[in-house]
Chain A
Amino acid sequence: MKNKKKAFWNQALLSGPYLLWMGLFILIPLFIVLYYGLTDGSGAFTLENVKKISEPIYMRSLLLSLKLSLYSTLICLLIAYPLAMVLRSLHLKNQNLIVMVFILPMWINFLLRTIAWLTILENNGVLNSFLRLLGFQGLSIINTPAAIVVGMVYDFLPFMILPVYNSLAKIDDNLVAASKDLGANSLQTFRRVILPLSLPGIISGITMVFIPSLTTFAISQILGGGKQNLIGNFIEQQFLLYYDWNAGSGLSLVLMIFILISMAFVAKFDKKQEGTNLW
């Protein structure tokens, strides 16, 4: 009994700093957003700010945001999964090294990485100069939704690779061997054994890419040429141009609904498995 009590206090002490951090910088700000989102300038309760999303301009940008984040998530998955399969099959001893290779681009500030893509994708940029050198016609990608998807994929790909790789690396080789022993071919083994076991990693990767893609405003600003306004850009404008914290928070709440949905999605799949989160 005494030991149990001690363990409790030890736990509280160890998790204390993080809980404090979470309270101060996650929970309280969330409540502030909730408060502003559901009140008007005078502090009275209203749903007007949230309803603002139904205006055609905002609705269109929300749909565009959803579409582009869906594309970028899908592309990330299509790149990350085969890569993670290959890495798993290599059975490398030094896993830390692999992890580091993936994190390496993240050491560079994400705005700088995005601006680098600007110089690559521009009409007279690196990519087009190279294509023309080879005798091809240049591509006009910059300032289109495609450019934004490229930026999203590049910026958020590590968030997909790591959880997927983690979940794949955990799968016991004996399970694969057993599946083959019992007469399953490679495809069946993949479908019946590997894929289901890696599902938590996939799900966690999907949310890790989908949520930041959905909420980004910097990538669309830089690579979209100011022509593709995502919902994030409009929220930014509410704060910076209209000084309307209420409307900005209201629109943020709408985004939060989508974030909650995707989190519920994760919780559902992650229930039986131990968490396969990013780190």
Chain B
Amino acid sequence: MRKKLLFAALLTLLCILSFGCQSKKEKLYVYNWGEYIDPEVLEAFEEEYDIEVVYSTFDSNEEMYAKLHSGTATYDVICPSDYMINRMAQEGLLQELNKDNLPNLENIGAEYMTSSQNFDPGNKYSVPYCWGTVGILYNKTMVEGEITSWGVLFDETYKGQILMIDSVRDAYMVALTYLGYSQNTTNRDEIQEATELLHSQSSLVQAYVVDQVRDKMVGNEAAIGVIYSGEAIYTQRSNSDLVYVVPEEGSNVWIDSWVIPKDAKNVSAAEKWIDYMCRPEVALKNFDYITYSTPNAAAKELITDEDIKNSLIAFPDEATLARCETFQYLGEENEHYYLDEWAKVK
């Protein structure tokens, strides 16, 4: 009898604990890239607004979209990239932002609002958070001379020393740009030509990676890697032999922006979040932590380290940017075609 009582008591306790822990605090569901925020910023936001942030992360736009598409989870604020914002807006998955509730939006540099129009005409749905280029990171002790072209990625001399990016559109961007085509091409012949080039490259590639490129380049595992500019700054902090270059043929420039999905439950908290991220000191703190370029002009002014402020990696000059394109969403049929072709590469 006593045992039964004890058991019942334990069970009751368990119930109370599991329900009691659910606070009645307001909740905000944030869905962001992995390693894409300074955790202190998150805590400071929670404290200031007394909102509990439920923070989840994704590794690729496609993964984020798949989760949203399946309808298994709803989020209040998400940070996808340009072409994905384009797609989500086209499919009616986003809601228009109320700019009256985003006073700090004025801190975002005008040029970034203009670039955003490529994928978000009228800046209706998105607020830029981070941006950057895609380029080559190389170890100057392991290659001869300076690297300026995507061509090194297809060069026999670097067999086994190349880290290729494991992401469909980025990989095709490299091949298509090298071949002189647009990275947004839907011409099947051009895409097939790129497939052949990428396939012939596969015997030279040490590994296809996304996040791992950082650690591998820092650890001298490979001589050359395809990398996002923000990661490049991070790797240079740990290994001064690494050099980042945006190849002369051109490249991709991307913007990751905050959006509010149509079915968001807590829009007012989402607006507070976006506005908070646009504060200069918050944007600066994030920039210091994640090293991805900030579109926040006011935050850039606050950077005290002249090297970083003038860094061409973090803030490329206009000539470099003029060579770069942004991705556009090409429609489901074309995107699937790219995927099918990509499956033949490796």
Contacts of A31 in B (CB 8 A): none
Give the CA-CA distance A227 to B219 in the complex, in Å: 20
Q: How large is the interface on A (under 10, 10 to 19, 20 to 34, 35 or more residues)?
A: 10 to 19
Contact with B along A113-129 (1 / 0, CB 8 A): 00000100011100000
Please tell me if the beta carbons of A243 and B346 are within 8 angstroms of each other in the complex: no
Select which of B207, B220, B336, B344 is within 8 A of A225 by beta carbon: B207
Contact with B along A238-255 (1 / 0, CB 8 A): 011111000000000000
Known: A57-B343, A122-B219, A123-B221. A240 touches B205 (CB 8 A): no
Give the CA-CA distance A124 to B218 in the complex, in Å: 11
A264 to chain B, nearest CB (A): 32
Contacts of B168 in A (CB 8 A): 241
Interface check B50, CB cutoff 8 A: no
Select which of A122, A227, A229, A239 is within 8 A of B66 by beta carbon: A239
- Nearest residue (CB) in A for B216 is A122
B interface size (C-beta, 8 A): 25
- Nearest residue (CB) in A for B222 is A123
Interface check A49, CB cutoff 8 A: no
Interface check B193, CB cutoff 8 A: no
Known: A143-B207, A225-B209. A57 touches B344 (CB 8 A): yes
Please tell me if the beta carbons of B65 and A243 are within 8 angstroms of each other in the complex: yes
Please tell me if the beta carbons of B205 and A227 are within 8 angstroms of each other in the complex: yes
Interface check B69, CB cutoff 8 A: yes
Interface check A226, CB cutoff 8 A: yes
Q: Of residues 116 to 158 in A, which have CB atoms within 8 Å of B's CB atoms? A: 118, 122-124, 140, 142-143
- Nearest residue (CB) in A for B338 is A241
Contacts of A123 in B (CB 8 A): 221
Contacts of B60 in A (CB 8 A): 240
Interface check B62, CB cutoff 8 A: yes
- Nearest residue (CB) in B for A222 is B212
- Nearest residue (CB) in B for A58 is B343
Interface check B206, CB cutoff 8 A: yes
Contacts of A57 in B (CB 8 A): 343-344
Contacts of A240 in B (CB 8 A): 60, 62-63, 66
